[in-house]
Amino acid sequence: MMSTPAVRPKYGIAAFILFMASVSHAQLKPPPKHEIHWANLTGGQYNPVGVASFFEFTYRLRLTEQEAPVLRENYVGLGLTLDLTPVWIRGGVHFHLQPISILKLGVEVLGLQGFGILGSAQAFDTPTDDWSQAVMDERASEAVVMTAWAARAFLQFKIKWNIILFRNTTRLSYWNHRLPPGATAVFAAGISGLRPQNGWTIENMTETGVWLLDERLLLGVRHWMVNVFHPGYRADPNGPSHILGPGIGWTFQDVSSVLFNRPTLFFHVGWHINHTNRTGAMPYIAIALSFDGRLWASD
């Protein structure tokens, strides 16, 4: 993986996950009144290449004690986010509200520090410049030491009925980058495209699948849409882009615990659709290990 001239880890690795524990493994009893919850996803990808590890630590306060499955998993949460890659580090605070089991809202504010190595964070004068993989490989040494901050909000609907799973997530992000003079766009592997120096991005992910073999084997499919709003352009000159493809997951139930809850290994293959540079036979490939757990709890 590291032999590729431009290595660009991305938060998008996390996006391919087909149903985290909160969707696929509903609790059989109400959660505790207070808890400190943690979650991690560590993985790698190809087209574009990247490796990353994502952490969340959240204090959760249960809103009401309910027995009905659709109402049971409710809470309000406040916590810390930490994302680590070889080429940047990102962290911040987040707020989550889950009034009922099937609906979740969240906002977060993040800061990012890029290291300007391995061809990451390449800046462009306009979003219509040539930012093909070949061009970025040639100018890998021009990666900028970048700082940025972002504000993001999401709305998620999720449901499990018998062995069938469904989740839809919409996320709106505002990014502010510190770029070299004259640059107005920067390559972001997290969306496999160009983000404006200062501007908005909207994403929508729809995932569906089925559990088999006593909820050990997960088979699913995911569609991911990204649209970027570049100042001065009526429409995204590079999109909206889409990735569509199947995924498979395996849960290691024998090593599950309260602290290390149902670790699951996922593999996803998706094809770029309506993408400026990545449509064709070569798919987007990602593999990751995901788990969550409870660090502390009290009633």
pLDDT tens profile 36-92: 999 999 999 888 888 999 999 999 999 999 989 999 999 999 999 999 999 999 999
- Cα distances from 193 to residues 93, 190, 239, in angstroms, run 25, 8, 9
Report whether 231 contacts 194 (CB < 8 A): no
Of the listed ranges 21-35, 50-64, 255-269, 278-292, the least confidently predicted one is: 21-35
Give the confidence band of 13 by pLDDT, cuts at 50, 70, 90.
low
| Cα–Cα distance measured from residue 87 to residue 116, given in angstroms and rounded to the nearest whole number | 7
Q: Which residue has the higher pLDDT, 141 or 289?
A: 289
Quick check: 25 pLDDT over 60? no
Looking at domain 12-298, its CATH architecture is: Beta Barrel (2.40)
Contact 78, 93 (CB under 8 A): yes
What pLDDT is stored for residue 30 in this prediction? Answer: 80
Q: Is pLDDT of 27 > 70?
A: no
Answer yes or no: is pLDDT of 5 > 80.
no
Bridge partners (DSSP) of residue 247 are 220, 268
Average pLDDT, the chain: 88
